[in-house]
């Protein structure tokens, strides 16, 4: 599972998930709910870029 980076520099790491917003560790970026936004700046998923 790949990490994804927000333009604000936040990196979504599937291994960590987003505990504060109810996303369990092990959740792939692709499986994040549509309403999920960057926990740092509020950007929607479409602005994220896949990291190698």
- Please give the residue ranges that form the binding site for other proteins (CB under 8 A): 7-10, 20, 40-42
Could you give the angle at the alpha carbon of 23 between the alpha carbons of 6 and 49, nearest 5°?
Answer: 20
Q: Which CB sits closer to other proteins, 28 or 51?
A: 51
Q: Encoding tokens for residue 46?
A: 């479409």
* Nearest residue (CB) to other proteins, 22 versus 26: 22
Q: Pick the closer one to other proteins by CB: 7 or 26.
A: 7
Tokens of residue 36, six digits: 């999920």
In whole angstroms, how large is the CA radius of gyration of the chain?
Answer: 10
Q: How far is the CB of 7 from other proteins (least distance, A)?
A: 7
């Amino acid at each position: 599972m790949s990490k994804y980076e927000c333009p604000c520099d936040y990196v979504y790491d599937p291994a960590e998930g987003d505990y504060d917003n109810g996303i369990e560790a092990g959740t792939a970026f692709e499986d994040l709910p549509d309403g999920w936004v960057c926990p740092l700046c509020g950007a929607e998923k479409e602005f994220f870029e896949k990291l190698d």
